[in-house]
Structure 1
Amino acid sequence: MSKFDIEPYLQDALAYAPDGVVKEAAYYSLLNGGKHVRSNILFATLDAYHIPLNKGIDAAIAIEMIHTYSLIHDDLPSMDNDTMRRGKPTCHIKYGEDIAILAGDTLLTEAFRYAAKSCERGIDTGLVIEQFVNAAGIKGMIYGQQLDIQNENKAIELDELKEINNYKTAKLITLPLIIGSIIADKYSSDKECWEQIGYKLGLAFQIQDDILDVTASSEMLGKDAKSDERNQKTTYVSLLGLEESKEIVETLLNDIENLLDTLIIDKHSMTELIDQLRNRQK
């Protein structure tokens, strides 16, 4: 896969905004050394279709903004109450809860400026915005967060955990796959397959998070380890154990590779991305 570094574009993403502590706090979290998994998924999808990667810049910025906003709000005392993110104090620890909320609100709102900009090349604006809303809104990530909050301190079954992970994690991981197919003008033919891949990829990613939460240190993760245990959340590891959870991740990744074979794409970039996720340590 041709690597595309989204970081320089994120550095200027709020250049038009008035200076102030909210802008500073938004940049603090947006530029805090993330892995950019979701934007990398978008670029891998474009590469699979042999579409120039620069056509995905605006959409990638929007996706990174939405993901970062969700982390700022997840870390708040009223949510997961985490104090460290990517090896640094969380946004509310550094700037206060009020400014952190506004920084998250800023990133969520401004993300749609970039989502709309991504449609300047004749792409269906309504379709793109709908995908963003479905992934991040009450039919997507926010609904998953609601389920997550409602099920804290409760013993839940595996199917309920899958539902939480589908909405909270997989929807936003599916988004760049779908946006990539729209940019490549392959949405109608390939949407269903990408949705299956996104679901499995999101589930695998979340189970890996569950595994790392109990096997890695806070220093390795760059965030508070054993957060799920502290918040009394049911995870794959708590339900099925460490080894079975690892086996499920491998099965899901193998399923994804088989699904990729059904698409008319150059799958090298996607396979490379899957291998990177297979071996992630944080």
Structure 2
Amino acid sequence: MSATLQFQDWIAAHSGRTESALDRLLDSAQTTPHRLHEAMRYAAQGGGKRIRPLLVYAAGQLGDGKENTEALDAAAVAIECIHAYSLVHDDLPCMDDDDLRRGRPTVHKAFDEATALLVGDALQTRAFEILANANGDANSKLRMISALAAASGSRGMAGGQAIDLESIGKKLDLSGLQQMHAMKTGALLACAVELGGIAANLNASQLEQLQKYAKALGLAFQIVDDVLDATADSQTLGKTAGKDAANDKPTYVTLMGLDYAQKQAKELQETAISSLDGFGEKAQALKDLALLVVNRAK
């Protein structure tokens, strides 16, 4: 079997594992309040690339082979809940005001704005509840909770979103743009890798190497997002294309040009992959995910 087919099989298996874990760890739509839980499932189970859970599972393979299945599943679902909540809130009229997400009506369109707000709140708190209740030693769970809280908050994803909103119509320099995206997008991607590493009981030196990978991957991911927003159509993306330009948001494409952005993404991909050399064959899934992130079409 070719390496490409092996990776496709790995993606299929771990994407399926993510969907099963989401179904198991989210409250059913029959749980009171029914409409809220139905909307939470709509938001979290509505498809998507599942890059963050896949990064959790790939990093979890770097340990001694004694996988803590429940801890990895909990980490994968928790970070996807945080990601889903961020998308629900990001789409609200007071934020990016979008009607389309993952090829479907956004939560505030499929339900209503108040429900969408509560969906984000509830998914965020559910993420930490899932980690707290997972199987594993207390210290590892505390480290996971701390890492996810830091990556999600004012010094991470939420802070990056705040800078993004403040930057509409303004000119950011390259370092400012990099800082914004390191917080808005990169922090949660890096956290996914860290959660997998914690579950795999990696030491401090190994986690440091993983962070080099995650930092490069997170920036590459956002650059590719900027490129796709400028070059792809809404049907391909599953969300409204051209929103950044329409909202006069600074991006790598508007700041540095399309050619530079594409070249930078490739260089970051190489940096991410080379940072994993010390892990040997165990890191193949992480390397393949770096290729997937940069070469994706949506």
TM range (shorter): over 0.9
Please give the alpha-carbon distance, in whole angstroms, between the structure 2 residues aligned to 1:9 and 1:186: 23
In structure 2, which of residues 256, 268, 272 is the aligned counterpart of residue 252 of structure 1? Answer: 268
| Deviation of 1:221 (Å) | 0.3
Corresponding residue of 2:45: 31
The superposition leaves residues 108-167 of structure 1 with CA deviations (integer Å, 9 ceiling, x where unpaired) of: 01110112133x222513212110111101121111111111111111111110010000
List per-residue Cα deviations over 1:21-43 (Å, max 9, x = no partner).
Answer: 11111111111111110000011
Match of 1:133 in 2: 149
Give TM-score, length-normalised by structure 1.
0.95
Please tell me whether the aligned partners of residues 174 and 198 of structure 1 are also in contact (alpha carbons under 8 angstroms): yes
Deviation, structure 1 residue 257: 1.1
1:151 aligned partner, one-letter code: S
Distance 2:68 2:223 in 1: 29
Residues 1:265 and 1:178: Cα distance change in structure 2 (over 3 Å): farther
Match of 1:41 among 55, 70, 73: 55
Let me know the Cα RMSD of the aligned residues: 1.6
Match for residue 238 of structure 1? 254
Instruction: Find runs of 4+ consecutive structure 1 residues off by over 4 angstroms.
Output: none
Unaligned runs of at least 5 residues, structure 2: 1-6
Shift of 1:45: 0.8
CA distance in 2, matches of 1:275, 1:142: 27
Query: In structure 2, what residue type is equivalent to 1:214?
Result: A
Alignment of 1:161-172 (within 5 A): 161-172=177-188
Letter in 2 for 1:72: V
Opposite residue 121 of structure 1, the aligned amino acid is G
Cα contact 1:43–1:53 (8 A) shared by 2: no
Residues 114-133 of structure 1 aligned to structure 2 (within 5 Å): 114-118=130-134, 120-122=135-137, 124=139, 125-133=141-149
SS for the counterpart of 2:169 is coil
Does the Cα contact within 8 Å between 1:47 and 1:53 map onto a contact in 2? Answer: no
Q: Find the aligned partners of 1:263 and 1:140 in 2 and give their Cα distance.
A: 27
Q: 1:95 aligns with which of 100, 111, 115?
A: 111
Distance 1:238 1:97, change over 3 A: same
Counterpart in the other structure of 2:69: 54
d(CA) in 1 for partners of 2:296, 2:288: 12
Unaligned ranges ≥5, structure 1: none
Letter in 2 for 1:226: G
Q: Hey, what does 1:8 align to over in structure 2?
A: 20
Superposed, which structure 2 residues align to 1:268-279 within 5 Å? 268-279=284-295
Secondary structure (helix, strand or coil) at the match of 2:25 reads: coil
Matched, 1:18 2:32: yes
TM-score by length of 2: 0.90
- Give 2:164's aligned amino acid: D
1:151 aligns with 2:189: no
Residue 64 of structure 1 and its aligned partner are, at CA, apart by 0.6
Q: Quick one: distance in 1 between partners of 2:200 and 2:110? A: 41
The answer as to whether partners of 1:48 and 1:265 remain within 8 angstroms in 2 is no
1:162 counterpart letter in structure 2: Q
Tell me if the contact between 1:26 and 1:107 (Cα under 8 Å) persists in the aligned partners. Answer: yes
